[in-house]
Each structure stands twice: as structure tokens, then as C-alpha cells.
Structure 1
Amino acid sequence: MKILIIAYNTIKRNFRDYKTLSLTLLFPIVLILILGTALTSQYSPSNMGKIKVAYFNEDKGDISKRFDELLNNEKIKEFIEVSIVKSSEEGKKLVEENKANSFIMIDKDFTEKIIKGEESKIKVYSKKTGSFYSMVVKNIVDSFGDGFNTVKTINSLTGKFSEYKTYKNIENVPISAKGNIPRAIDYYAVTMLVMTLMYDTISSAVLAGEDIYEAIGNRVKCTPVKFYELFLGKLLGLIATFFLKAVMIICFSKYVYGVNFGENMPVILFITFSFSVFSTSFGIMTAFFAKDEKRAVNFLNGIVPLFTFLSGGYTKFSTFGSLEKIIFFIPNKLGHEAFFNTIYNGSSQIASKAVLSLWAMSILMFIFSSLKGRRVKV
């Protein structure tokens, strides 16, 4: 019960600070409007030209030959330029060097596994998994897989063999980029939301610092409140505060600016909640390990803009080369990957990996903070 009371009082205290609350809400809302308006031209889709795809097929079976026929279809070749490579290493290298948008690979036992009833997949490698180019390639591969699975199901039900064919009667249908590619305001609505949640780490550090370094901490020692009750109460209160503020920004952006947050709002809200948990844990841990509230605040004030910059929060970066894998685990980048891949139907695997990474780091930081807090005997 004490934990819930502390959590409630933490929420009430944060929302009663009208000045700070107004600033933390207005700051991202105004930035979204300014950046989203000023940089509109940079995010408008233009003639994308042909999508460059590297292709390596080790399989000699009939099923993979059907995929070869699909890629050689005249209509497919109008917007995809396929380059045959001699190895998987060559294909991946072309993607890494930005000489190909995606790399498609079929293993040598692809047909054999399917005949045996085992799972077999066509592999697609893309550097920018949430980009329009990679989604086009992914949809082509998925379409082939869906078509073949349908034929396989019919065969198993009827006992008759129906061959999977790739037909040439593809109709030219104008494609609208609306909803498929983020506009400037869509892009900055996400990056500024993530940046705001990262700045919430400062509020988290300040509230935690009060209990460690200021007089209020000494007064708490004289009360019957135990450390874990105070810790969990503050934790829940801060998470709820950050999450509610983020939801306000999402609602304003969506209904006033018309920002596209996709069709799966429950998942978007879960990602937002996950990042709220991370922000709280990161701020509290920083306060415990900095051994000084001002030092913790200064550290966070420096690292949040740096993380925002490196993750492409202010402007998109095409590539970081060998640093790409390290950049991925920057908190802001994890947030971007989770949001964008969910909103624009990108890779669910990358979105899940990003969210799981946030939770893993949050749990570790909670454990470290709890152990450190017991030592300082708050």
C-alpha cells in the first residue's frame, strides 16, 4: 500500500509542477512543427529509379527456379535491377557498401527441405530494413512465399500436384507513397518523442538524487518507509508520469498535426511504455552512480543530445559504416527502430529486438540501482 501511495504522490507532484510540465510538452510539440515544416522537401518521395538487388541462388531445384522466373519477369525488371553474385559474402558486401539496396539468398537445400516438409526460407539482407526499398523487396519475396504455400496446401488437401507458376499478366497500378514513407513531420514526431523521453532521465535523476544527496533523504530515514518501498514507489510514479506525458504528445501530434502512427496503436503505446521504463531506470542509475545530483544532471544534459544526434534524431544519416552495429544499441536508435518498423510495417524482428534490448537494459539498471541504493542506505 505504501508503494502505491508513494507512486501516486510522485505522479501528483510532477503534474502539479505546471511550469515544468508545460515546457516538457511544448518543447517537442513546437520542434515537431518547426522541423517537420522546414524539412518537408527532404522527405518527399521523388523518382526512386530502379531498386538494386544482389541475388545468389545456390539451389538447383525446381522451386528456386520459379523464383528466378519471377525476378526475370518483364514487369518486375521495370523497377528492380538484379545483379547475380557468386557468393553470400559478395552479396552482403554490396549491401554494406551501399552498392545494392538488398541481397536475396537461396540456400542450396532450399527445394529439398520443402519437398521433405521442412521449413525453408528465402533470405533477404537489407542495411535499412525499414526503408521503402527494402519493403518492396521483402513484399516480392513474401508474395512468392505466400503463393507457393497456397499451392502446397492445395496439394496436401487434394492429393493432386498443382504446379506453382509465375504469370506475366501483371497490371500497372499507380502506387501512392502516402502512408508508406514517413513525411518530415512523421519522422520528427517519432524522433522528438524519443528525445523527450530521454530528457525525462533528468527528472528521474533529480527525484532519485533528492533521496540520496539532499535533506529529504535524511528525513526519509526517520520514517517507517523501507528502501524497497520508496524505490518501487518512485519508480512506478516516474514511469507513469513519463508515459502519460508521451501519450499526450502522441495524441496531439496525431490529431492536430495529422502524424501517421500506423494502425497498431496498442503496440505503439507498448513501445512508448517500454521507453518510459528505460528512461526512469537510466536516470535513477545515473543518480546513484554519479554520487552528486548536479554531476548526474550535467552528464545527462550532455549525453542526451549526443545520442539524439548519433541516432539521426535531428537529421537522417545514410550510414555509419563499421559503427552501424554499435549505433543500433544507442537508446534513441532502439526507439526509432521499434517505432518506424511498427508504423511502416517493416521488420517485426528488428522491432522486437529493439524493445527487448530496452527491457533488458532497464532490468539490469534497476538491479544495479537497487544494489547501490542499499549500500548508501537511503
Structure 2
Amino acid sequence: MNVWRIAMKELMTSRDPAMLIFMLATPVLLILILGSVLSGNFNGKEAVGTVRVLYSASGDEAAKEHWESWIGRSIDETGGLEGTERGDREIIVKGIAFDEAKMGEQAAIDEVKNGGYIGYATIGDEGIRYYGNDRIGAENAIVQGLLSAYADHRKLSLVLPEAAGAAEGAASSGEHFETRMLQAPPKPNAIDYYSVAVTTMIIMYISMTAGLLIENERVRHTANRLLVAPVTKAEIFAGKITGSLLLHLFFVILIVLLSKYMYGADWGDNPVMVLLVLASQIVFAISLGLGSSYMLGSKASGAVIMTIIQLAALFGGSYFQNVDNGDFFSKLTRLSPLDWTNDGLLSVIYGGVESPIGGMSAEYAAILLNMGFSVLFLAAAIGIMRRKEGL
């Protein structure tokens, strides 16, 4: 009961209004700024307009028919582009327009050189020849990929007698092949990522105020009054931590809701687990502040904690997304509490995140690490407090 009363007193007492505003306004602005300025780093798509390619099909009639039937089937499956007519020999597959060349080979190549078309492809008995404009790399890669897929398709149709229609009553070659699109796992965009990264970074700043939880009682000369009250040091300590946890958890929930409904940030469909990971980090930050305050003193601990926060933010992906390349820097990121907490949250939201602890999911590993280090810092603070006469 005494613990709850002390916790409520912490909630009702306005500590530092400027710090509370900082805890709420700063992350909301940082999410917007970083998410807007660095959005290009998270855009895995490149807009490409209609890719126009000249082609000529000659030689064996079967090869020519296979080429045109293959493209026609692709149109039927993908829908092509609205308003395209196949009768005029312009065929569009997934944004690629194939125009049959009405001129000679050299004239078609000149059209490519002049930028009128991306490339020129010839399909005949000798195979496929492709002349591409190397100044347009992305579109060229698209066309070459499509032609390679066709070449593989043609080879299979010649190898399989059924696909070639050799057997009497055999099905057409198109029925023996199936094309499937594999959808990549979802990934965060810039707003999604920085909503997570900035929130966890701001939580680390809680350790700055947590180090003053007991020091403020000494400054206000209320420490002695607490000691003579019918409460134990353990109850005072637990009440302070509980009140600080509830206060900062409230602000963190506000940050999550603001980023979700103001910017459309994706926090997943498991809010309970997200809240547990964030709560474990808040406990870690409070424990870090209290432990450092008792071990180093309130003045020295402030500088040490600020250094820890900046290093944790740098190596933990608060300013840019970490990529594990196996180098020394990648190994350093694993030492940052922000790294394993961010991984835990991204694992809850998107899944597929590697855990720092083998055999355990990233979110549970984050909770375990945060709470484990919290126990160490709190044990150190409690041990030192018990040996002191006052708080």
C-alpha cells in the first residue's frame, strides 16, 4: 500500500514541465523530419514508365508462333495496359511495349541509339539477339530479364514432347508452364522505421531524469522526512520506480498513438507485445539512471549517461537503419540496447528479424536483455543505498 501511495505521489507531482514537453514534442517532430528527409533510403521501388522495345521474328514459323503466343498468354494473365489492341502488333507485357520493326535491322538499331526505343530484339532460328541502349540501365535490365525468361521457356518447350505438342491430342505448350509472383515479406518505410527508432531513443533519455528520483528528495530536504515516516527504504525505492514507470509509459503510449494516427505509422497488430517491449526498455532506462546515480554520484552520472545514450543511438540505428555486414561496426551494434529493442519491435510488427539470443524470438530476447540488465543496475543501487544512512 505504501508503494502505491508513493507511486501516486510521483504521478501527481510535476517534476520538470520542460522535460515532459521534450518527451512528447521532440519525438513527434523527429519522426516527421527523419521520416521525410530519409524516405529515399527506404524506397525499394523505382518508377519506370512504359518500356518500348522493337522486335522482329523470323525464320522457323514455329519459333515465331511460340514467341507471339507466349507474349499473348502473358497479356491474358497480367491484363497488360488498358486500351492496348493486339491487332496493331503492339503488345504490352507488364509495362513493356513490343513494337514489330517495320524497317531494316540497321534502321532499328539506329532508333535504339537515338533513344526512341530501349532496345531491339530479333527472334529467329539462331536464337535471340538483343541490342540495348546502355545509357538506360534499369529498363535494359527489365527487358533482358524478360527475354531470358522467354529463352528458358522455349528450351523447355523443345525438350518436353508434351509441351511441344508432339503427342496426338497433347495440350498446348502454355498449359505446361505456370508463372507465380512471390511477394516479399513486408518491410517498414521511413515513417514506420523512425516511429520505432525515435521512440526507443527518447525512452533512453528517461535515465537522465531517473537518476534524479532520489536526488530530488535530498535537494528538497524531504529525504529525512521520508526516512522517519512509517515506510521502509525498499518501499520508497519501489514506489519511486513504479511511479516513474507509469508516468513515462503514459507518454510513450501517446507517442505511439500520435505517430500512428498523425503519420500512419505501422505498429503491427499485436499492441500487447509492443507495449511489453517498450515497458521493458523503460524499466531498463530507469534502472540505468538510478544505478549510475548511486555508483557514480548524481553529477558524474549525468555526463556518463548522456555519453551512453549518444553511443547507443549511433550504434543502435536511431539515425540510420543498421545493416549486418559482418564487419566490426555490425558487431558493435549488437552491444547497443537500442539495437536489440528496435529488433524486438520490428520482429513483432513485421517478423523475420534475427534474434541476438539463439533459439528465442527477437521480441522475447529484447525483453529478457532489458530486464536482465535492469536487475543488475537495481541490485547495485539497492546495495549502495542499504549501506548509506540516508537515501
TM-score, length-normalised on structure 2? 0.60
- Is residue 319 of structure 2 the alignment partner of residue 308 of structure 1? no
- Is residue 372 of structure 2 the alignment partner of residue 360 of structure 1? yes
Distance verdict in 2 for CA 1:41–1:295, change over 3 Å: same
Task: Please tell me the residue identity of whatever aligns with 2:11.
Answer: I
Q: Secondary structure at the match of 2:282?
A: helix
Q: Secondary structure at the match of 2:348?
A: helix
Distance 1:200 1:170 in 2: 56
Gaps of 5+ in 2: 47-175, 354-359
Are 1:209 and 1:288, in contact at CA under 8 Å, matched by a contact in 2?
Answer: no
**Number of the residue aligned with 2:251:** 245
Q: Secondary structure at the match of 2:212?
A: helix
RMSD value, Cα: 2.2
Are 2:31 and 2:191, in contact at CA under 8 Å, matched by a contact in 1?
Answer: yes
Distance 2:217 2:337 in 1: 26
- Is residue 24 of structure 2 the alignment partner of residue 25 of structure 1? yes
**Number of the residue aligned with 1:3:** 3
Distance 1:274 1:298 in 2: 24
The within-5 A match list for 1:40-51 is 40-46=39-45
Q: CA deviation at 1:8?
A: 0.6
Counting matched residue pairs gives: 254
Gaps of 5+ in 1: 48-167
TM-score, length-normalised on structure 1? 0.62
- Higher RCO (C-alpha 8 Å, min separation 6): 1
Task: Please tell me the residue identity of whatever aligns with 1:364.
Answer: L
1:319-339: CA deviations, max 9, x gaps? 461454453232111211111
The partner residue of 2:344 within 315, 334, 338 is: 338
**Number of the residue aligned with 2:181:** 173
Q: CA deviation at 1:278?
A: 0.9
The within-5 A match list for 1:1-378 is 1-14=1-14, 17-46=16-45, 171-173=179-181, 175=183, 180-211=186-217, 215-291=221-297, 293-318=298-323, 319=325, 321-322=327-328, 324-347=330-353, 349-377=361-389, 378=391
Are 2:295 and 2:380, in contact at CA under 8 Å, matched by a contact in 1?
Answer: no
Q: CA deviation at 1:350?
A: 2.6
Q: Greater helix share, 1 or 2? A: 1
Distance 2:316 2:326 in 1: 10
Q: CA deviation at 1:288?
A: 0.7
1:244-277: CA deviations, max 9, x gaps? 1111100100111100111111111111111111
Distance verdict in 2 for CA 1:325–1:351, change over 3 Å: farther
Q: Secondary structure at the match of 1:173?
A: coil
Distance 2:310 2:349 in 1: 24
Distance 2:268 2:219 in 1: 44
Distance 2:275 2:335 in 1: 21
Distance 2:337 2:227 in 1: 34
Bigger CA radius of gyration:
2
Q: CA deviation at 1:309?
A: 0.6
**Structure 1, 209-218 or 225-234: larger mean CA deviation:** 209-218
